[in-house]
Amino acid sequence: MSYPEPRYLGEGGEVTAVFRPSTTEPDITTGTGNSTHYLATSAGTGGEFGLYKADMGPRSPGPSTHFHRSISESFYVLSGEVQLFDGERWTTGREGDFLYVPVGGLHAFKNSSDSPASMLLLFSPGAPREEYFERVAEMAQRGGKEFEDFLVKHDSFFVDGH
């Protein structure tokens, strides 16, 4: 394995780093104790990756079993306990635990505990996940073909029986 071809061809580097203080308010907050922080969006990384922090309130159900056709997804537990499904079994993820799900891999997550939990979500390559996070609850309530089209648009394919 080797490094990718260079994409920056300058000689002296550039001042392009982006700092996001830990005190930045969440980008999305729901009344159920859940919030999402857009740490690095696909737009901000030029499509390289998307990095989000998900804070889950106690007993947050999370998405059911699904897969993505064009992006991998990784989970890194920051605090609390998160139930992670790897396509075969549920595992309790705790601080420092990591789950990588390749493209096409079945997965799900939830907070089954009575305490809050927090984790990082990494999508690679980057995809415009912000609309998904912002509208999935509304679209699920609408249901039908409109919801099905929304899921396909956002590379989310849910499966039954897992």
What are 56-106's pLDDT values in tens digits?
999 999 999 999 999 999 999 999 999 999 999 999 999 999 999 999 999
Q: Which segments of the chain does DSSP mark as H helices, in order?
A: 130-142, 144-153
Q: Round to whole Å and give the CA distance between 105 and 9.
A: 36
pLDDT computed for residue 160 by the predictor: 82
Tell me the pLDDT tens digit for each residue of 5-61: 999 999 999 999 999 999 999 999 987 789 999 999 999 999 999 999 999 999 999
Q: What is the pTM of this model?
A: 0.93
Distance CA 84, CA 120 (A): 13
- What domains does the chain contain, in order, with CATH numbers? 28-158 (2.60.120.10)
Q: Which amino acid is at 78?
A: L
Query: Which tokens hold the place of 7?
Result: 């994409």
Provide CB contacts within 8 A for 46, sequence distance 6+: 126
